[in-house]
C-alpha cells in the first residue's frame, strides 16, 4: 500500500530531475547523433540486442518537445524537429499497433506548439492507418503479434484514432475507437481492476477464447506495465469523449494499483509474480504517475482526485531519487534505472527503457504544471 506522507519540497526535486533528464538526453544526442535507442544494456544505449518490435522512435523527440515547451530553448526545438521529421513515413506503417506512441509524442506536440496544419494531417493519417487493424469479428484492433491477438497496450494508442475522428468528423473512425475500447474493457480488464496483457480470438467466429501474455508472469497475472497502459489509455479515452464507462475503468484500474503497489510507489514487473521473483519496473510506475496526474484533474470525485494526485506525486518523488534516478551512477546513459522491457526474452532487464524516460518526463511536466 502506497505511503502518502512527506511530499514537501517536491517541486524542487521534480525540477532537479528534469534538469538531469535534459543533461542525459543532450549527452545522448551529442554522443550518438541521429540514433533512436530503445533500452540500455548495462546502462549503454548502443548495443546489438533485438528490438522485438519497432515502437519507440517517438519517445526521444517527445522528450525534446517537452523540454522545448518548458525551457523555450530554441536548441531543443531544433533538435525536436530534427528527430521528429524522419518519422513521418511511419504514418503509413501497418506492421505495428503503436502509432499513438509514435505520433502523439512528436507531430502532435509539434502541431500544438505551432498550429501548422500539415503536422495535424500527419497525426490524422497515422490514426487512419492504426484503424486499419480493426477486426469486425470481435471488434478489436489486432496487435503486431497477429490478427487473433489484442493487447492492453493498444489502449494507450487508440487515442490517436479518437483524435483523428474528432478532428475530421469521421464516424467510422469513432466507431472503431469506441468498439476497441469497449472490447478491451470487457475482455482485458478484470472485475478487481487488474488487467490481462493479451487476449486471443477465434478469427472465424470472432469469439473471445482466452487471456494470455507475452511480457507478464502468467496469462492470468497482472503485468504492471499493462495495467499502466490501461490506466493511461482509459483516462485519455475519457478525456477525449467523456464516456463514463472509460472513467469507471480508469478508476477501477487505478484503485487496483493503489491497493497493490508497494509503499514507495515503484511497481513490481508483475503484481502476481511470487515474492521471491519480484523485480522493480520503473517504467510502469512512471506511466502510471503521468496517467494519475491527468485522471486526478478529470474525475468529478474530489476525494478521489486528491488521492490520485498525491499517489502520483509519491511515485514521482521516489523515481526522482537514487537508486531509481541514475544521477549518482557514473557512466549510466539513461535517466531512470530499473526498467524492464521483456523479461521472458531477456531484453532490457533492470535497464533504462525509452518509454520509461518519456513518461517520466511527461509526468514531471504535469506535476510541475504550466510554465
Ligand atoms: N510492448 C510494449 C511494452 O513493452 O510495453
The one-character DSSP state at 322 is T
Which residues of the chain are under the pLDDT cut of 70? 5-8
Atom of ligand 1 nearest to the CA of 52: 1
User: Which residue lies with its CA nearest to atom 2 of ligand 1?
Assistant: 153
Residue 226 Cα to ligand 1 midpoint, Å, equals 8
The predicted pLDDT at position 262 comes to 96
At residue 268, what are phi and psi to the nearest 5 degrees? -75, 165
Residue 349 β-bridge partners:
340
Are the beta carbons of 318 and 292 closer than 8 angstroms? no
Summarised one tens digit per residue, pLDDT across range 232-255 is 999 999 999 999 999 999 999 999
Task: Report pLDDT for 145.
Answer: 98
| Cβ within 8 Å of residue 27, ≥6 positions away | 333
- Alpha-carbon distances of 203 from 146, 147, 149, 172, 206, rounded to whole Å: 11, 8, 10, 22, 5
Q: Report the separation in Å between the CA atom of 338 and the middle of ligand 1, taken as the mean of its atom positions.
A: 15
Distance set, CA 272 to CA 166, 216, 225, 226 (Å): 38, 9, 13, 13
> Which backbone phi and psi does 262 adopt, to 5 degrees?
-65, 165
In whole numbers, what is the pLDDT of the chain averaged over residues?
Answer: 97
Cβ neighbours around 49 below 10 Å, total? 15
Query: Which residue is closest in CA terms to ligand 1's atom 1?
Result: 153
Outline where the chain has alpha helix (H).
Answer: 10-31, 59-71, 74-84, 99-104, 107-114, 117-131, 159-168, 171-187, 224-241, 244-260, 282-298, 302-319, 354-368
Q: Which atom of ligand 1 is nearest to the CA of 225?
A: 5
Question: CB under 6 Å to ligand 1: residues?
Answer: 153, 215, 225, 341
Q: Give nearest CA residue, ligand 1 atom 4.
A: 341
Closest CA to 81 of 98, 60, 96, 95: 60
Of 39, 99, 188, 355, the residue with max ligand 1 atoms within 8 A of its CB, to mutate for a pocket test, comes to 355
Phi and psi for 128 in degrees, rounded to 5? Answer: -65, -40
Chain position carrying cell 497515422? 126
Pairwise CA distance, residues 227 & 214, whole Å: 14
Query: Residues 150-199: pLDDT tens digits?
Result: 999 999 999 999 999 999 999 999 999 999 999 999 999 999 999 999 99
Q: How far apart are CA 140 and CA 181, in angstroms?
A: 8
Amino acid at each position: 500500500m502506497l505511503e502518502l506522507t512527506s511530499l514537501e519540497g517536491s517541486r524542487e526535486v521534480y525540477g532537479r530531475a528534469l534538469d538531469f533528464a535534459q543533461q542525459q538526453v543532450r549527452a545522448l544526442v551529442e554522443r550518438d547523433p541521429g540514433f533512436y535507442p530503445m533500452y540500455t544494456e548495462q546502462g549503454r544505449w548502443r548495443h546489438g540486442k533485438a528490438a522485438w518490435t519497432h515502437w519507440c522512435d517517438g519517445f526521444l523527440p517527445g522528450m525534446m518537445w517537452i523540454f522545448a515547451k518548458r525551457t523555450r530553448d530554441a536548441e531543443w526545438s531544433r533538435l525536436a524537429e530534427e528527430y521528429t521529421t524522419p518519422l513521418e513515413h511511419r504514418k503509413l506503417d501497418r506492421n505495428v499497433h503503436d502509432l499513438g506512441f509514435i505520433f502523439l509524442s512528436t507531430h502532435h506536440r509539434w502541431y500544438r506548439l505551432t498550429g501548422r496544419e500539415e503536422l495535424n494531417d500527419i497525426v490524422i493519417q497515422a490514426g487512419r492507418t492504426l484503424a486499419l487493424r480493426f477486426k469486425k469479428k470481435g471488434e478489436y484492433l489486432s496487435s503486431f503479434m497477429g490478427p487473433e491477438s489484442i493487447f492492453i497496450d493498444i489502449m494507450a494508442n487508440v487515442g490517436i484514432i479518437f483524435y483523428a475522428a474528432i478532428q475530421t468528423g469521421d464516424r467510422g473512425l469513432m466507431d472503431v475507437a469506441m468498439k476497441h475500447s469497449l472490447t478491451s474493457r470487457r475482455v482485458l480488464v478484470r472485475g478487481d481492476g487488474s488487467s490481462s496483457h493479451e487476449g486471443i480470438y477465434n478469427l472465424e467466429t470472432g469469439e473471445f477464447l482466452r487471456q494470455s501474455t507475452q511480457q507478464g508472469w502468467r496469462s492470468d497475472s497482472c503485468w504492471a506495465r499493462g495495467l499502466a497502459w490501461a490506466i493511461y489509455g482509459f483516462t485519455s479515452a475519457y478525456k477525449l469523449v467523456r464516456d463514463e464507462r472509460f472513467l469507471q475503468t480508469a478508476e477501477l484500474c487505478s484503485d487496483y494499483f493503489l491497493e497493490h503497489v508497494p509503499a514507495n510507489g515503484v511497481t513490481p514487473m508483475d503484481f502476481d509474480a511470487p515474492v521471491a521473483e519480484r523485480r522493480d519496473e520503473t517504467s510502469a510506475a512512471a506511466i502510471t504517475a503521468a496517467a494519475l496526474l491527468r485522471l486526478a484533474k478529470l474525475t468529478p470525485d474530489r476525494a478521489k482526485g486528491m488521492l490520485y494526485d498525491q499517489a502520483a506525486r509519491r511515485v514521482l518523488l521516489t523515481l526522482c531519487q537514487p537508486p531509481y534516478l541514475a544521477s549518482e551512477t557514473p557512466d549510466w546513459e539513461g535517466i531512470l534505472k530499473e526498467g524492464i522491457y521483456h523479461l521472458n526474452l531477456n531484453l532490457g532487464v533492470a535497464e533504462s527503457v525509452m518509454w520509461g524516460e518519456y513518461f517520466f518526463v511527461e509526468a514531471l511536466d504535469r506535476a510541475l504544471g504550466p510554465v
